[in-house]
Amino acid sequence: MSDSQTKQNSPIDLSLRPANWYKDAVIYQVYPRSFQDSNGDGIGDLNGLAARLGYLAELGVDTVWISPIFKSPMKDFGYDVSDYCDIDPIFGSLDDFDALIAQAHGAGLRVIIDQVLSHSSDQHPWFQESRQDRTNAKANWYVWADPKDDGTPPTNWLSIFGGSAWQWDTRRRQYYLHNFLKEQPDLNFHEPEVQDALLDSMRFWLARGVDGFRLDTANYYFHDQKLRDNPPNIQSMTREHQERSHSVYDHQHHYYDKSRPENLSWLNRMRALCDEYQAILLGEIGCERQIERMLEYTNGPDLLHTAYSFALMGPDHSARFINEQLAPFVANQASSWPCWATSNHDVRRTASRWLQAGESTASQRSLEGYAVLLATLLGTPCIYQGEELGLTEADLAFEDLVDPPGITFWPDYKGRDGCRTPMVWRQDAPYAGFSGHKPWLPVAAEHTDKAADLQKKAPSSLYSFYKRLLNWRQQHAVARRGTFCFLASEPGVIAYQRSLDDRELVVHINLGDTEVQVAPLHGELQFGGDTGVLQPGDYRVALV
């Protein structure tokens, strides 16, 4: 009997998966290469993560999202999968993964894993077979197209990482589609066998006990079969927009290369599978109309359980902007459930991005306010590793970069390495306790004074605030499940109320740059001050 069959026949403990458990969850994203190295090769791994589960449980999170750990040539650091049913040796083995799941569940922690389904590595056996000729069994498993009469690509579609989204292949004498690197060919979801094979790979991990999946690029699965060109995005032609962007990708409205209506039926299939295991689907949405797409993909019992976008990962963190992003979900809170994150492995860290006037780094008070926002908004909070320590974006030298877009677009865009540097566990240890060997990315010198060992000892540290806040959230259902409504407030202040049974939670956060007066405090103060004045970055949380 194969290992996968053994797992499928083993009972799965569903005690950590009550109905709608994702609505009570606090998700913590682990970027495993940079979390903890256990074998001294400078790269974080599964055994290293297992050794730090106690830290996560103590912090107050209950669900761990692990970024890709499947076999991969690592052209995009795991987001180019060459085997959907095995662990890459740099992270460990299937036995290590099984042990991690058992240990996490024993500590009361759930585990969701990254599923990169829209594309594979060009080293995946499926693609290697598909590219041989036009008649093999997997010939239609990827998106192939003939050139135009003049030899140019079949459409004007662009790759996020630069240039055309089409790559010429000399064996088939056709182009194949890649929304990202040319080493990441897009799978053809119009082919039923592709869908079936991917569902089989998901069942493989569900049978091993995973509690759900984070779906990479969840709106990229289907392409337009008529291969129509995307129309131009005239707004992106403005000088202001071009000064903010390092790429021409936004010069198109991406109507035909992603976010196609066929996506919904595929989400139905994945949801039906996960419902068998009471597991969840957390979708990543990236597009022009990301809030609209988040709502579309979560608005019903047969779609994604929840989804997040990059809405709160840009520079704008004004009260007005956040109200606008949240409003569609407030209007549909009986049928849709969002997930919110202010940082992840693809964007500049919050402490370096969400700044008050005159700041070069967000103050601890402001970072506490942003944590309060995540913990009390309508939806599930997702925390990226190191945010609880207030880590800033690391400024790396060009020779230290490994991220493909950072290398391509340097110096206008330095890529994503600055938010992926190793966790800092001990101030006085080599490489801050991450590894005994030179890490794959440098440990940022400015991070060592924020090391976890220092902050755990300090009651006034940001880590200690996160710990109090998240444990408080676990004890107050109104902060997790309460009906949400906005409250009238002064400009610059986001104010809202959550109500459940006979309790009300009232939150004020000053996201502006000026001092404001707020209404007199009613009820029991939970966090913040009760002076009636909120300075920039201040917050007040009260139970009524």
Residues with a catalytic annotation lie at 216, 276
Dist. CA 341–CA 358, nearest whole Å = 24
Instruction: List Cα–Cα distances, 113 to 101, 105, 212, 316, 353, in angstroms.
Output: 11, 14, 7, 29, 27
Q: Is the CB of residue 213 less than 8 Å from the CB of residue 279? A: yes
Q: Which residues contact 2 (CB under 8 A, 6 or more apart)?
A: none
- Alpha carbon distance 96, 437 (integer Å): 21
Is residue 216 within 8 A of residue 13, CB to CB? The reply is: no
Q: Which two tokens stand for residue 14?
A: 């569903």
Nearest CA-CA partner of 469 in 516, 417, 528, 509: 528
Containing H/E element for 472?
Answer: helix 462-475
In a 10 Å sphere around its CB, with 0-12 CB exposed, 13-18 middle and 19+ buried, how is residue 243 labelled?
exposed
Q: CA-CA distance, 453 to 424, in Å (whole number)?
A: 9
Q: Distance between CA 47 and CA 426 in Å, rounded?
A: 18
Q: Is 221 left (phi over 0), alpha (psi -120 to 50) or beta?
A: alpha
- Alpha helices (H) along 79-178: 94-106, 125-130
